[in-house]
Amino acid sequence: MTMQTSTWRLGDLTVNRIGFGAMRLTGRAAFGAAASRDRDGAIAVLRRAIELGVDHIDTAAFYFSGELAANELIRQALAPYPDVLVIATKVWPGRDASGEWHWATPEQLRGQVEDNLRGLGRDHLDVVNLRVPPSLRGGSIAEHFTALAELRDAGLVRHLGVSNVTLEQLTQAQSIAPVVCVQNAFGLGAPARERELLRVCGERGIAFVPFFAIAGSGRESGAAASEHESVLAVARAHGVSPAQVRLAWTLRQGPHVLAIPGTGDLAHLAENVAAADLRLTDDETDRLQALS
């Protein structure tokens, strides 16, 4: 089964509303959880995603574990890339070869962009999100976003986005250069400030791209072992998984809402893609909304 034809745009690029997050391809979430995966399995998942209609992949140079790096897996699996494929990445956080984290200065962002270019084997990046450190949520991002905008002007980057931001930071970024997407943690139970940001993005024509839409409070570790009864009831009514319910609810939050669920499992990939065709009733949507 391939996904529905519902689309949105990232600048002048049009994508299907369910994409693919590459964080789990290496078997280790970006902040260090889960077991190792094999190269052949990861490549099979990427190729199957494209066959199922995925045309938007989210990745980062800091998604690596052991001998596996998400960007290199994407290149090995999909290059030469289909013309319709949009690859989004993110900068500001970085990891050295030992896995130690650091946060880039504005002057170091070019090196991070070039790392992504090398890993993916591309001469430009479709979308680059400036991922804001948790410690700076609410602070100024002007210096870093200006440096990223200069890389866009130089032709290394086609479109810019922001990630882990507040509404005020989004507005600040837009005063510097066009913003095509906001990538924040969002899903069932999201706080009011994130629901408001989602609404404002719709008003401004900006794609809202939630991460952890399935994992929820489990974040990098994945979905919790137990699930809320309201989610389970809706899943039973449709004969689908709770993860599919969470994705369908997320997409129903607005036509500008995209989803980038990640997995290293072919069966889960098929379920995630099929969630685009799951139609929740108004009553079901309201019952799930009440979880917030």
Q: Are 209 and 58 in contact (CB under 8 A)?
A: yes
- CATH homologous superfamily for the domain 13-289: NADP-dependent oxidoreductase domain (3.20.20.100)
Give which of 108, 113, 194 is closest to 143, Cα–Cα. Answer: 108
What is d(CA 244, CA 41) in angstroms, rounded to the nearest whole number?
Answer: 22
First to last CA, the chain: 32
Q: Are 269 and 45 in contact (CB under 8 A)?
A: yes
81 is catalytic: no
**What does each C-alpha distance from 8 to 33, 137, 252, 271 come to in angstroms?**
32, 27, 13, 21
What is d(CA 216, CA 214) in angstroms, rounded to the nearest whole number?
Answer: 6
Domain boundaries, the chain: 13-289
pTM assigned to the model: 0.93
Catalytic member of 8, 20, 62, 63 = 63
Predicted confidence pLDDT, tens digits, the chain (292 residues): 444 558 999 999 999 999 999 999 997 544 444 445 799 999 999 999 999 999 999 999 999 998 899 999 999 999 999 999 999 999 999 999 888 999 999 999 999 999 999 999 999 999 999 999 999 988 999 999 999 999 999 999 999 999 999 999 999 999 999 999 999 999 999 999 999 999 999 999 999 999 989 975 444 444 555 788 999 999 999 999 999 999 999 999 999 999 999 999 999 999 999 999 999 999 999 999 888 6
